[in-house]
Chains A and B, each alone.
Chain A
Amino acid sequence: QVQLQESGPGLVKPSGTLSLTCAVSGGSISSSNWWSWVRQPPGKGLEWIGEIYHYGSTNYNPSLKSRVTMSVDESKNQFSLKLSSVTAADTAVYYCARGEGEEGRFDYWGQGTLVTVSS
């Protein structure tokens, strides 16, 4: 059973950089899957942030592309998200998820981690 676990600071200052890591267990990050980040502002809907393949190929949401960087660490079986120049609008629960097969199909999700942007 694949499990994903997000980790990172729960509080980030405005204009700073949000950094999160998703640890994958029960499966290999080097498998034929895309690995995604999805966020959900409090009381609002889901927003796809982007995805990364294990050899480093990425796709980012055009609305966030200029601020997003994703990376993979195969030795630690984990992938990461960095979101720069954050504002209060970036306050959300951030989920990592595994993409299976075709785009848009997320079969495993982390439990989510709340990141608040505030001074």
Chain B
Amino acid sequence: QSVLTQPPSASGTPGQRVTISCSGSSSNIGSNYVYWYQQLPGTAPKLLIHRNNQRPSGVPDRFSGSKSGTSASLAISGLRSEDEADYYCAAWDDSLSGVVFGGGTKLTVL
């Protein structure tokens, strides 16, 4: 049981826009930054979004993040086949004094 809650799966067709949600609490998302990681099959996670909505250099602007209260979302526009991956949200939790991850969302491009 993960501290942050994500839907286990999401899907879309090429060119579509999809969103992945991440729900937490006042001790994590509600009071700290949210991060998003992309994990392609058989590879290490890659930082996709930091500080709720900032993209590291090299990450396409098709990826965007947002946060409101104790929830956050990752949006992917202009969906491509190479976006098929697992996506994880993460945040620091003040109560646990540690980093917590969501359970991950498997994105399928139909």
A85 an interface residue at 8 Å Cβ cutoff?
no
For A46, what are the chain B residues with a Cβ–Cβ distance below 8 Å? 37, 39, 45, 88, 90, 101, 104
Interface of B is mostly: strand
Q: Of A47, A62, A95, A107, which is within 8 A of B97 by CB?
A: A62
Of A19-27, A72-80, A98-106, the stretch lying at the interface with chain B is A98-106
A7 an interface residue at 8 Å Cβ cutoff?
no
Q: How large is the interface on A (under 10, 10 to 19, 20 to 34, 35 or more residues)?
A: 20 to 34
> What is the count of residue pairs linking A and B with beta-carbon distances less than 8 angstroms?
67
Decide if A107 touches B56 in the complex (CB within 8 Å): yes
Q: How large is the interface on B (under 10, 10 to 19, 20 to 34, 35 or more residues)?
A: 20 to 34
Decide if A105 touches B44 in the complex (CB within 8 Å): no
Q: Chain A: residues with CB nearer than 8 A to chain B?
A: 36, 38, 45-48, 50-51, 59-62, 95, 102-107, 109-112
Q: Chain B: residues with CB nearer than 8 A to chain A?
A: 2, 32-35, 37, 39, 43-47, 50-51, 56, 88, 90-92, 96-104
